[in-house]
Amino acid sequence: MARRKKHEEHENHERWLVSYADFITLLFAFFVVMYATSSSNVEKQQKFEDSIRLNLRLGMGGGQGEGSNSSGIDEAIGELEMPIGGFPAKGGSKEAADFVARYMNKKVDEKDRKETVQGVYSDAVGVKIALAASTFFPAGSSKLKLSSLAVLDKVAEILKQTDKRLIIEGHTDDTPINDPAIPSNWELAGQRASSVIRYFIKYHQMDPKRFTSISYADLKPVAPNDTEEHRALNRRIEIMIVTDEKSATL
Q: Within this chain, do residues 154 and 55 fall inside the same structural domain, yes or no?
A: no
Whether residue 96 lies inside any domain: the answer is yes
Q: Is the pLDDT of residue 130 over 70?
A: yes
Whether residue 169 lies inside any domain: the answer is yes
β-partners of residue 238 are 130, 169
Q: Residue 22 — pLDDT band, cuts 50, 70, 90?
A: confident
Q: Residue 53 — pLDDT band, cuts 50, 70, 90?
A: low
Whether residue 204 lies inside any domain: the answer is yes
Q: Report the domain count for the chain.
A: 2
Q: Within this chain, do residues 181 and 125 fall inside the same structural domain, yes or no?
A: yes
Q: Residue 168 — pLDDT band, cuts 50, 70, 90?
A: very high
| Share of residues in the chain with pLDDT > 90 (%) | 39
Whether residue 31 lies inside any domain: the answer is yes
Q: Based on the number of CB atoms within 10 Å of its own CB, is 175 exposed (0-12), middle (13-18) or buried (19 or more)?
A: middle
Mean pLDDT value across residues 40-63: 50
Residue 93 CB-half CA count within 13 A: 28
Residue 46 confidence (pLDDT): 57
Whether residue 165 lies inside any domain: the answer is yes
Query: In angstroms, rounded to a whole number, what is the distance separating the alpha carbons of residues 188 and 240?
Result: 19
CATH of the domain at 174: 3.30.1330.60
Q: Residue 7 — pLDDT band, cuts 50, 70, 90?
A: low
pTM tops 0.75, yes or no: no
Query: In angstroms, rounded to a whole number, what is the distance separating the alpha carbons of residues 142 and 193?
Result: 8
Render pLDDT for 169-214 as a digit per residue (tens, 0 to 9): 999 999 998 888 899 999 999 999 999 999 999 999 999 999 999 9
Mean pLDDT value across residues 86-98: 58
Which residues constitute the domain of residue 105?
87-242
Q: Within this chain, do residues 222 and 173 fall inside the same structural domain, yes or no?
A: yes
Whether residue 135 lies inside any domain: the answer is yes
Q: Within this chain, do residues 215 and 164 fall inside the same structural domain, yes or no?
A: yes
Window from 15-29, 34-48, 134-148, 190-204 with minimum mean pLDDT: 34-48
Window from 26-30, 43-47, 159-163 with minimum mean pLDDT: 43-47
β-partners of residue 170 are 215, 237
Neighbour tally for 174: CB within 10 Å? 13
Query: In angstroms, rounded to a whole number, what is the distance separating the alpha carbons of residues 147 and 205?
Result: 21
Average pLDDT in the chain:
77
